[in-house]
Amino acid sequence: MNRHDDEIASKESSTLSFDLKVAYQEVVGATGAKETAVAGAKLFGKGLFNTVLGFGKAAKKKLADLAELKGRLSALDDAALTRLCQKGTADEKMVASTILKTRQGAE
Count structural domains, the chain: 2
Say if 67 falls within a structural domain. Answer: no
pLDDT tens-place values along the chain, 107 residues long: 455 555 555 554 446 888 999 999 999 999 999 999 999 999 999 999 999 999 999 999 999 999 999 999 999 999 999 999 999 999 999 999 999 999 888 65
d(C-alpha 54, C-alpha 46), whole Å = 12
- pTM value > 0.95: no
Among 64, 65, 49, 58, CA closest to 16: 49
Query: Which of these three, 61, 82, 99, is where a domain ends?
Result: 61
Which residues form the domain of 88? 74-107
